[in-house]
Structure formats: structure tokens, C-alpha cells
């Protein structure tokens, strides 16, 4: 048992606690409150002094591709998304660095940034065996492609993935039809059906995610059936002519699919109109906004505020380091705070914590500092005036002093 003594504790689901403390026993939080009260309640417990810090739930990176972490700064964006994707694929295929080295480095960066949970998408589902032993909480998504009505290979791949992925308390499986321009409606429905059947058994819950409404080219493809995405698919021999153009915008098209009442985590949703926001707000899907990657590609202002107002659960991700500088959700929150200084800091912190937990179906275990939940925590040093602690850490450049996952310290600065 250990006690973390912080200058301010932000439980998320309760008011801030000045001179607060959190008690951890094994993987669980067993106490949270004013330090003096907690000290009396748990006498003799070893204490870590973090009285210069704000204590938060561990930060949640709800969309990334860790396998691409070695490509940071190597694939420039020149105004054409399909061209960027083409060069990104080439760079990935030319990689000689072992995947375990890439993932070890990425995991260490996540821990230094106070990120305790990730939703990671990996081509051919190669990352999970390496990530399994790294102490990071994760959902490993098996990415699947196929703009076709012939799904024998995809069905076999997804069934094998369900059978062979070794889940545990820190690792869950997810399925990811890539995007509407690379995965047909039948494939979305297959993934949802398989996840739904698995989840009905009461075992380890299988999550679902996809990229949606990411670029104008995606809108063109789904509304006209043509454009650069069709040309790209024809060029790489992934077009068999069976795809029927829905003549719908991406969000409208996605919501028209029969998905067995399964909730999806929708990455990006950069292009959405008022009617689609209203319609999406009536469903249980979540949106993950990747602010700095959004900026990297020069998209117009994201409508995350309108989505939140419509009742859509919006969380934060970084996307890969091919389109970002760090894997830090703290950096994402700071970027949003800089771009939208009047946006609620309370809501912004929730986007990086409990909203991510809800999006990943893990809200019963993580996302807030609550007795009975898992001890995923981060301590961030405060500077100057502490009157508004959340604004303090969002305006500063301080980096986490301590990161804990399921009661285990995975990063600590002791000097």
C-alpha cells in the first residue's frame, strides 16, 4: 500500500482537493481525499511526496499508430493527402528497425508523457505480442481492409485474430475496418457482428474503431464514386468494381450501416455538417479528435465543441508520429488550450481522461480517481499561481513527474 500526497488532486468525478492524497493498494485506488483525513484513515502507509504536483487520472491516447513512431518528421505533407499516404506506406515498407525496438521506445515516451492507456491500430495486428509485456494499458486494434463483397479472407483473418490474441487485465482486442474508402459496408458489418457475438458471451470486450470523415477526398469518393481514392485503389489493385457508391457523406453513410448496435470509436471526423452532428448525437458512438495532427494536415477548424454540445462523447488522440511531434495527450490539451483559450479547462481535462475511458469502454476501471478503480495516475508539477490548477498545467511546459499504471510506477523523476 502506498500514499501519493499531491498539492491538488483532481478526481474528475468530484471537486478538486487541495492538499489531497490518493491511496493505492495493489492495482486499485482504495482512498482519495484531504491528506490529513487520508493519513488518519491509513496510518503508517509509505508516502510519496508530490506536493509540488497536480494529481490526475492517467491520460488516455485514444488514437495512435505506434508502429509508425520511427517515422517522425520523415514524411512531409505537401498538400495532397493521398500522396502523403502513398509515401507513408513506402516509408513503412522500407523500415529496417525491428518492431519491438520501435514499440519499446514509443511506450517509454508515453510513460514520460503521463499516458497510461492507448488505443493502438497496427497493420496486420503485429504489435500486440510486443505491447503485451510493456505495462501499458492498451486496446490493440486489428486493422482490416477490403472494398469488396468477397470477404472470405477478411473473415478468416478476423476470426483468427479473435482466437489468437491473448488478452489480459491490461490488453484488450479491437477490430478496425480502416475507412469507408478502403473497407466496404459489408466489412464494417462483419466486424460489428463478430464483436457483438463475442461481447454477448461476457468475455473480454472487443472494441471497434474506424477512420471517418477525415478528408474532402473521402466525401468525394462516397458521394460520386470517383476521385483520387478510386484512382489510388485501382493503381494498387484493390478495386474489383463491386463497391456501390452510396451517394452519401461519410458520417451519413456510416450511420446507415447495420452495426448490431455496437458502438464505434470514430477517428478524426474532420468534415461533418449540422445534420450529421445531430444524427451522431443520437447514437452511442464516440469521436476522437487529434488536434495537432489535424493542424499538420491543415484541416479547417474541428467541430469538437459542437459535437460535445450535441451530446457526442469526444476524446483526444495524437495519431501517429508520422503526423505529430509527440505521443503526449498533455501536449494535445495544451495545444487546444492555446488555440481555444476560452474553452472550458474542466471539459478539456475530461477529454483527455474520462471521455477516453468511455470511448474505449473502460470507464468502470479508469478515467477518474475513484476508490475501486484501477490506479492509473499522473503527477504534473505546478508552477507559479495555483489559483486555477488546470489552467496552470495547460499554460506551462512542465512534464510529468510520476506515472502509474494499475498501481505500478512506470515513470518517476526523483531529483
Q: What is the pTM of this model?
A: 0.97
Q: What pLDDT is stored for residue 260 in this prediction?
A: 87
Which of 369, 394, 366, 363 lies closest to 380 in space, CA to CA? 394
Q: What is the pLDDT of residue 153?
A: 97
Residues 61, 287, 244, 234: is their CA dihedral positive or negative?
Answer: negative
Report, as ranges of residue numbers, the positions in the chain whose pLDDT lies below 70: 385-386
Whole-angstrom Cα distance, residue 61 to residue 138? 9
The helix/strand count (H/E) of the chain reads as 16, 15
Quote the pLDDT of residue 284: 94
**Residue matched to cell numbers 489535424:** 294
- Give me the pLDDT at residue 388, please: 86
- How far out from the chain centre does Cα 111 lie? 15
Q: Is 13 left (phi over 0), alpha (psi -120 to 50) or beta?
A: alpha
Question: Could you give phi then psi for residue 168, rounded to 5 degrees?
Answer: -155, -165
Contact 4, 55 (CB under 8 A): yes
The DSSP element (H or E) to which 57 belongs, if any, is strand 46-57
Paired sense of beta strands 2-9 and 17-25, if any: antiparallel
Query: Which of 2.60.40.1730, 1.10.10.10, 2.30.40.10, 3.40.640.10 is the CATH number of 2-57+368-412?
Result: 2.30.40.10
**Region(s) of the chain under CATH 3.20.20.140:** 59-359
| Termini Cα distance of the chain | 23
Torsion angle defined by CA atoms of residues 362, 366, 370 and 371, in that order, rounded to the nearest 10 degrees = 90
Q: What's phi and psi for 184, nearest 5 deg?
A: -75, 170
Cite the residue boundaries of each domain of the chain with CATH code 2.30.40.10. Answer: 2-57+368-412
Classify 95 in phi/psi space as left (phi over 0), alpha (psi -120 to 50) or beta.
beta
Cβ atoms of residues 302 and 295 within 8 Å: no
Name the nearest CA neighbour of 185 among 152, 151, 217. 151
Q: Using alpha carbons only, give the angle 356, 362, 366 rounded to the nearest 5 degrees.
A: 80
CA 47 to chain centre: 32
Rounded CA-CA distance 59/336 in Å is: 15
Q: Tell me how many degrees the CA angle 70-84-111 measures, rounded to the nearest 5.
A: 30
Cβ contact 334:24 at 8 Å:
no
The dotted CATH code for 59-359 is: 3.20.20.140
**Rg for the chain, CA atoms, rounded:** 21
- In angstroms, the CA 84 to CA 80 distance is 6
Which grid coordinates are listed for 59? 491520460
Q: Which pLDDT value is given to residue 161?
A: 97
Q: Which residue has the cell 477525415?
A: 214
Model pLDDT, residue 386: 64
Residue 75: name the closest of 59, 63, 86, 66 by CA.
86
C-alpha to C-alpha distance for 142 and 144, rounded to whole angstroms: 6
User: In terms of DSSP H, where are the helices of 9-165?
Assistant: 35-41, 81-93, 99-112, 128-131, 152-164
Amino acid at each position: 500500500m502506498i500514499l501519493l500526497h499531491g498539492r491538488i488532486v483532481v478526481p474528475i468525478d468530484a471537486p478538486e482537493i487541495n492538499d489531497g492524497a490518493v491511496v493505492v493498494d495493489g492495482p486499485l485506488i482504495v482512498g482519495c481525499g484531504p491528506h490529513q483525513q487520508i493519513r488518519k484513515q491509513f496510518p503508517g502507509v509509505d508516502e510519496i511526496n508530490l506536493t509540488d504536483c497536480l494529481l490526475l487520472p492517467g491520460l488516455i491516447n485514444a488514437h495512435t499508430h505506434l508502429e509508425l513512431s520511427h517515422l517522425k518528421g520523415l514524411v512531409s505533407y505537401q498538400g495532397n493527402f493521398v500522396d502523403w499516404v502513398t509515401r507513408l506506406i513506402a516509408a513503412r515498407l522500407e523500415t529496417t528497425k525491428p518492431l519491438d525496438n520501435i514499440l519499446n521506445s514509443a511506450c517509454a515516451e508515453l510513460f514520460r508523457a503521463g499516458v497510461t492507456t492507448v488505443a493502438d491500430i497496427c497493420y496486420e495486428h503485429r504489435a500486440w505480442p510486443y505491447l503485451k509485456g510493456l505495462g501499458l494499458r492498451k486496446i490493440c486494434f486489428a486493422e482490416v481492409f477490403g472494398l469488396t463483397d468477397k470477404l472470405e479472407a477478411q473473415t478468416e483473418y478476423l476470426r483468427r485474430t479473435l482466437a489468437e490474441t491473448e488478452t489480459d487485465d491490461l490488453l484488450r482486442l479491437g477490430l478496425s475496418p480502416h475507412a469507408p474508402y478502403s473497407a466496404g459496408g459489408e466489412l464494417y458489418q462483419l466486424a460489428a457482428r463478430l464483436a457483438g457475438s463475442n461481447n454477448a458471451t461476457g468475455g473480454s470486450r472487443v472494441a471497434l474503431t474506424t477512420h471517418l470523415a477525415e478528408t474532402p477526398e473521402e466525401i468525394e469518393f462516397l458521394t460520386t464514386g470517383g476521385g483520387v481514392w478510386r484512382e489510388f485503389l485501382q493503381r494498387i489493385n484493390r478495386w474489383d468494381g463491386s463497391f456501390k457508391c452510396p451517394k452519401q457523406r461519410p458520417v451519413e453513410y456510416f450511420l446507415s450501416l447495420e452495426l448490431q448496435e455496437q458502438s464505434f470509436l470514430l477517428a478524426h471526423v474532420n468534415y461533418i455538417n449540422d445534420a450529421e452532428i445531430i444524427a451522431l448525437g443520437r447514437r452511442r458512438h464516440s469521436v476522437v479528435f487529434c488536434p495537432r495532427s489535424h493542424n499538420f494536415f491543415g484541416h479547417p477548424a474541428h467541430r469538437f465543441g459542437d459535437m460535445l454540445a450535441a451530446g457526442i462523447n469526444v476524446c483526444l488522440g495524437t495519431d501517429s508520429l508520422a503526423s505529430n511531434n509527440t505521443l503526449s495527450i498533455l501536449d494535445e490539451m495544451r495545444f487546444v488550450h492555446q488555440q481555444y483559450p476560452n474553452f472550458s479547462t474542466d471539459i478539456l481535462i475530461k477529454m483527455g481522461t474520462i471521455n477516453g475511458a468511455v470511448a474505449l469502454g473502460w470507464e468502470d476501471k479508469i478515467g477518474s480517481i475513484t476508490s475501486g478503480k484501477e490506479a492509473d495516475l499522473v503527477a504534473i508539477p505546478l508552477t507559479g499561481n495555483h489559483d486555477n490548477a488546470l489552467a496552470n498545467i495547460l499554460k506551462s511546459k512542465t512534464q510529468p513527474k510520476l506515472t502509474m499504471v494499475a498501481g505500478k510506477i512506470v515513470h518517476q523523476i526523483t531529483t
